[in-house]
Structure 1
Amino acid sequence: MEITYPVANKMEKDGARTDLDGTVNEFLTYDEYLDSKITPLDLYYLEDEKLARQVVELGLRGTGEVWKREEFESRKAAAQASRLSKRSEQKTLASAGKELKDNFLRALAEREEANRSGKNHSIIFIRDHSACGQEISGYIDYAHRLKCEDFEPYFSGKKRLLPRPTDLSFYNWKTNEVTSSDSANYQVIANNPNGVLFMNKKDRNIVNVDPQLSCG
């Protein structure tokens, strides 16, 4: 039996043109893209997957316009480069290029890259005054806060980094409000007779923040 594959009609220049950018994101390779256009009937008559791909690539199918390998791979490379560029932009340190005179901000800047990359999960103790003038203190998961908010205003001196009720621990010295919350990296062990402890969720190590412990 002879099988005839009609040549696809040329599509309008702009109107019905397939979105190649969407196609390159949908398929990992050009061969996967060609395979998506092969039907079980094609394989039944051709009995060869490679030949079926060639037939599709040559446009000898009535399934619409087929992208050429060169254009597909060129767009694929461009899309990958764009993704890498965006990731690089996202990894830009908020402290980069800042002239930091405050010792606390310098300490945060020194630890920013390690906490953003996951190499370290620093726990930071802060004791300061809220916008209402009330004394507050608490422990924060620095890596977690870096992922949840923009730190550029802190390093620029436009905002002060303060503990919140949603951090690992929080205490308002005026109202006696006390809260503790697990973070992405730490579990809070609050009912410990020797004081609050934090367990790293990854390596299960216990962090004891009691200053008396380090002085002994």
Structure 2
Amino acid sequence: MADGEMFDKSVLDFQSYEDYLDQQVTNEDLYYLEDPDNARQIVELGYKGKDFMSREEFEAARKAASEGPLKRKKSLEAVCSVGKRFDDNPFLYALAKREELVRNGKLSTIIFIRDVVKGHEVSGFIDYGHRLKTEDFEDYFNRKKKLVPKRSDLSYYNWKTHTLYYNNSSTFQVLADNEMGLLFKHKRDRKTINVDPKAPTPGDNSNRTVLQTDDYTQVTIYDHVTRRKN
């Protein structure tokens, strides 16, 4: 998925997620699979490797587009974790502790998550700041939704379908093809974050935190403090 606005008014042109999937199904798909439902399922599971929204992304995009830009902007700028306690949830506690710092640009955070989503093991690196700008985190902090990797994140890998995506964000550039492995370059100070768990440190002004939580298979958080020039 290319960089840019995640929510698009065009999603309102579709009456349902099934209608959206139908736009990805070709006549050749219908010829071989015969059943339209089977064709939609192949698309939704990512076996075709196409860049499209998941059901959750589609519903979120429709909701955001229908609410309008002013209401969406207000909800996205609010610090959602204020007044909430997460003593029993290490992951949400870690997100809450960083939320305001990330929103005001004092901290840039990348979250690595590996977990099972709808029967598929997936993993990915998430730009926390980008998600805060494009999603209302109230549902996450209220425990109504679970934060998981998406195809639009910095990276996404489905271990069952072997589907892989890389995307730059407004804060980070993905450096995937280099001898040091996967790196993320901060666009403001040009520092790189090395997410190799065997690396002694992630890099200058960066640190790595491995979380122990029952809610995910694996979680690692990479924090980067930007040194601004005076």
TM range (shorter): 0.5 to 0.7
* Matched pairs, number: 129
User: Per the alignment, in what secondary structure is the counterpart of residue 199 of structure 2?
Assistant: helix
Compare the two structures and name the one with the higher helix fraction: 1
Residue type matched to 2:94 in 1? A
| Aligned residue number for residue 130 of structure 2 | 144
Aligned equivalents of 1:124 and 1:89: distance in 2? 22
Aligned equivalents of 1:200 and 1:110: distance in 2? 21
User: Per the alignment, in what secondary structure is the counterpart of residue 162 of structure 1?
Assistant: coil
| Aligned residue number for residue 103 of structure 1 | 90
Q: Which has the larger radius of gyration?
A: 1
CA-CA distance at 1:92 after TM superposition: 3.3
| Aligned residue number for residue 124 of structure 1 | 111
Query: Structure 2 length normalisation: TM-score?
Result: 0.53
Uncovered stretches (5+) of structure 2, i.e. residues with no partner: 1-72, 202-230
Q: Deviations over 1:103-139 (max 9, x none)?
A: 0110000000011001111011111121x22111110
CA-CA distance at 1:91 after TM superposition: 4.5
Aligned equivalents of 1:167 and 1:214: distance in 2? 25
Task: Kindly indicate whether structure 1 or structure 2 has the higher relative contact order, using CA contacts under 8 Å at least 6 residues apart.
Answer: 2
Query: Structure 1 length normalisation: TM-score?
Result: 0.56
Identity level (%):
50
Compare the two structures and name the one with the higher strand fraction: 2
Uncovered stretches (5+) of structure 1, i.e. residues with no partner: 1-86
Q: Does 1:174 align with 2:160?
A: yes
User: Per the alignment, in what secondary structure is the counterpart of residue 184 of structure 2?
Assistant: strand
- Taking a change above 3 Å as real, the CA distance of residues 195 and 150 of structure 1, as seen in their structure-2 partners, is same
* Mapping 1:51-90, distance limit 5 Å: none
- Taking a change above 3 Å as real, the CA distance of residues 149 and 193 of structure 1, as seen in their structure-2 partners, is same
